Amino acid sequence: MSDLFKGIWKGGKGGKVGNGEDTFGDVESGCVIQMTSLDADPSSMADFFREIGVVQGKVNDVKILLLKLQSAHEKTKGTHKASELKEIRAEMDGDIESVTKAAQFMKFKLAELSKSNLANRQVKGCEEGTTTDRQRMALTNSQRKKLKELMDEFQALRATMMDEYKETITRRYYNVTGKQADEETTENMIRTGESETFLQQAIRQQGRGQLIETIREVQERHDGVKEIERHFMEIHNIFTDISVLVDAQGQMVNEIQDNINRATSFTHRGADQLATARRRQIRKRKWTCVSILLLIVLILVLIIALKIAKIIP
């Protein structure tokens, strides 16, 4: 398989179209994808939602490719002919190449969205911590988290393929030699590519011509696993870069949310204390009025009593 990253960026690192916008190109297919300039109108949420939709579409595409890879891997488990394995591996190579390009595209898109989010904070009413800012940050970070989950699924598939390949080599070794290969022997055969060498030695020593197809099968599985392992690492590195941004942006969002929660808590406490003080003030005024009324009644009673005392000798 050719280098998966070759030709992803037109001119090596991307290009510029006539209006100065960035382009994302695939030299092999001649496809050039124009990147929307989000900085031109940072206050436009319509542009933002459109770009989020583009990233979400790519995430869905990668999920479909992941399912295809899992299905293809299941086919390899029931296939023992080198020619059939080669066909399946070619199909998997094409899907992995598509995943790599999609991952690189999404990494670039998310970087553009991050720049747009920072630019949008310069707009009045959209400053850091505002509802608009938190919405943009949360949606962008949500896409990164989805990619991080996809990365975990690819890692799980990669680990499964390696484990099953080890089991195949161990089983073939036992069928030929009659001995059970230990973990170190199996790892050494996979690392050095000697998994087919011991089969060739067995043929020379035992004259088992029927093992030729087995040799081809093991060789094809070895080449396939090594090639897929290499490209899975390339995909992993891209997803790791995105994952770092997830952690950083997630921490930023959490800090903003914590500050907002604290401010909201202070506001609520202040409102409660103000309401309490007002109730106390009302009660105080009420008792003051009652006291004044009682005092007036007492004065009136004294005045009436004094007048009655003067009238009655």
Burial (CB count <10 Å: 0-12, 13-18, 19+), residue 241: middle
CA-based angle 230:240:16, to the nearest 5? 90
pLDDT value of residue 195: 55
What residues pair up with 31 in beta bridges, in sequence order? 26
Contact 81, 88 (CB under 8 A): no
Q: 202 in a domain, yes or no?
A: yes
State pLDDT tens for residues 232-290.
777 777 777 776 655 555 555 555 555 566 666 667 777 777 888 888 888 888 888 88
Integer Cα distance of 38 and 180 in angstroms? 61
CA-based angle 54:59:64, to the nearest 5? 125
pLDDT < 70 positions in the chain: 1-44, 175-176, 190, 192-226, 231, 243-266, 312-313
Burial (CB count <10 Å: 0-12, 13-18, 19+), residue 233: exposed
Task: Name the DSSP class of 35.
Answer: P
Q: 294 in a domain, yes or no?
A: no
Nearest to 235 by CA among 129, 145, 106: 106
Token pair of 170, please? 């161990």
CATH code, domain with 122: 1.20.58.70
Q: Return the half-sphere exposure (C-beta side, CA atoms, 13 A cut-off) of residue 160.
A: 13
Number of domains in the chain: 1
Q: 27 in a domain, yes or no?
A: no
Integer Cα distance of 141 and 267 in angstroms? 28
Integer Cα distance of 176 and 199 in angstroms? 7
Q: 107 in a domain, yes or no?
A: yes
Nearest to 222 by CA among 256, 261, 191: 191
How many CB atoms lie under 10 A from the CB of residue 48?
22
pTM over 0.75: no
Helices (H) and strands (E) in the chain, counts: 6, 3
Q: 29 in a domain, yes or no?
A: no
Integer Cα distance of 97 and 162 in angstroms? 19
Torsion, Cα of 211, 213, 214, 219 (10° steps): 130
Contact 99, 147 (CB under 8 A): no
Integer Cα distance of 277 and 272 in angstroms? 9
Q: 227 in a domain, yes or no?
A: yes
Look up tokens 């970087």; give the residue.
Answer: 111
Nearest to 9 by CA among 59, 56, 28, 183: 28
Q: 163 in a domain, yes or no?
A: yes
Integer Cα distance of 250 and 259 in angstroms? 14
Whole-angstrom CA distances from 111 to 51, 61, 135, 245 are 12, 19, 17, 9
pLDDT value of residue 6: 36
Which range of residues forms the domain containing residue 79? 36-270
pLDDT value of residue 296: 87
Q: 174 in a domain, yes or no?
A: yes
CA-based angle 105:76:3, to the nearest 5? 35
pLDDT value of residue 201: 59
